Chains A and B, each alone.
Chain A
Amino acid sequence: MLSLTVEQLLVSKGISPKKEHLEILEARWKEMADLRGNLDGIKIDDADIALKNIAGGDHVE
């Protein structure tokens, strides 16, 4: 299975990360994955999202 490194992912978006950032980015990204876990403790499958789509403009008046 194709698996991109953090560096490859950023480069594919036209971003050139600092070489000395790569190790930190990998570590931080892993920390975030750990914080997320598998979201088992929350009923997420049928949960709505906190975004609005208001027809006709920004405000209902």
Chain B
Amino acid sequence: MSNLHLKSVEELAPLIESKQLSPVELTKEILKFAHESQPVINSYIEFYDDEALADAKKAETEIANGNYKGMYHGIPLALKDNLYFKDKVTTMASKIHKDFKSDADATVVEKLREAGVVFTGKLSMHEYAWGITNNNPHYGPVRNPWDTTKIPGGSSGGSGAAVAAGASVASLGTDTAGSIRIPSSICGIVGLKPTHGRVSKFGCYPLAWSLDHIGPMTKTVKDAAAMLEIIAGFDHRDPTAVNLPVDNYVNQLTGDVKDLVIGVNEDYFFKQVDTDVEKAVRKAIDLLVSKGAKVEVVSIPSLQYAEWAELVTSLSEASAIHHSDLKTRPQDFGDDIRLLFELGELPSAVDYLQAQQVRRQLKAEFTEIYKKVDVLIAPTLPVVANDIGDDLVDLNGERVDLINNIIRFTGPGNLTGLPALSVPVGFKGNLPIGLQVIGPAFQEGKVLNVGYAIEQFNLMENRKPNILVAK
């Protein structure tokens, strides 16, 4: 079979279940492509070739014996390198943790392993997940498969680049200010930040405890829904885990949006947006309306303080985690994150607590609007990918700060903990554009179904990055 690396889980799973495709053949193909693409996109930090082939053989035997476990059985995946694998090195893409080994799997790793996933390795990321460029001083920059002079976004940039290119069939990312949705938008894939507490964070190295999330990064919405079914659920070992039953998310993908009420917030989520990005997002909304959805304009006044609250909370929590190393071995951090850790030492306790007051107010306002609308739709980002090494980005002819602008629309999802999905909705030139669906707490099924409906419009026109030809 050709171009297996470009196929989604939903395309591969029936072939594996019906024994037309062996997990061993698939894993060999993915590993081959991952190694070939490594000099071009640099998405992996470590390959698990031998273990992957052994696990693929195990999956093949299980399936041959009639023990097919579900959609992800025998599917090769690589994960972000801040998720612990028992007795394996997890680097956080840092120098300080370059030899760190965990004595337990992360809960998400354990769950994927039980579902029959084959792990092909660990993917690069922004150092300690504290940035959005993936321009890593210790492991080199990850490159965007659509244009290798551009960033893949971050911090889960290795996951975004690997999934878009085909070096991993799907992946997991972590998201503190947008780190799943940013690379998903920039690399043209699907990324879901579930509700805070929906997926256990046990065994994930923290960036900022109260804002961190783990979620799927996939080629399709159905792949994300199926992965969420596997990784969601209560876990005593995560103090923020919430004990609610896990839905069947795949079954909720009907594509039916008749009478769906879409909330649009013009004052914040459509302010200072690249005109091509705005056009693509509004086109997708219009298409949903053509299928029976309705639009209601909503106001969320506290969003004016969201950027400040996100910065104070994330900077303070991250600096608390790294305080000791910042005092004793600051030279071992990359320059960009050292600067952020220094900045995070500056807010006062009052600043931090006022930021938490803002968060609560913001949550209250979102809760109120969800009495009137089913979901909010916004651009995932106000911009598309920019050049590697450039701290400024073009926004309608103006050069603006990259970091502050790129997290503007994703940060509120972390502050409120609400589920937020990025789905690709077109291109500016050859660079993908993402649309964000933000839903009520624990209603990932509803959010995913809106993404699924958008996916049916084929706004990406079946285009795929072809990095090996581009090279």
Contact = CB atoms under 8 A, between A and B. Distances in A.
Nearest to B315: A32
B338 A21 contact: yes
Contact of B361 (A28, A29, A31, A47): A47
B356 interface: yes
Contact of A24 (B239, B339, B347, B360): B339
Given A17-B342, A21-B339, A25-B343, A42 B239 contact: no
B77 to A, nearest CB: 29
Interface string B344-366: 01110001011011111101000
A15 B323 CA distance: 9
Contacts of A32: 308, 311-312, 347
Contacts of A2: none
Contacts of A28: 343
Q: Which one of A14, A29, A41, A49 has the highest number of Cβ atoms from chain B below 10 Å of its Cβ? A: A49
Interface string B239-255: 10101000000000000
A41 B301 contact: yes
A53 to B, nearest CB: 12
Nearest to B241: A59
Contacts of A3: none
A31 B327 CA distance: 25
Nearest to B359: A50
Contacts of A42: 301-302, 305, 357-358, 361
Contacts of B335: 18
Contacts, number: 87
Overall SS of chain A's interface: loop
Interface residues of B, number: 35
Contacts of B326: 15
Contacts of B346: 6, 9-10, 25, 29
B360 A48 contact: yes
Interface string B323-341: 0001100100001001100
Overall SS of chain B's interface: helix
A59 B327 CA distance: 34
Given A15-B330, A59-B241, A25 B353 contact: no
A59 B243 contact: yes
A49 B357 contact: yes
A18 to B, nearest CB: 7
B304 interface: yes
A18 B338 contact: yes
Contacts of A59: 236, 239, 241, 243
B267 to A, nearest CB: 12
Contacts of A39: 305, 354, 358
B468 to A, nearest CB: 39
Contact of A15 (B239, B241, B345, B360): B345
Interface of A: 6, 9-10, 13-18, 21, 24-25, 28-29, 31-32, 35-37, 39, 41-44, 47-51, 58-59, 61
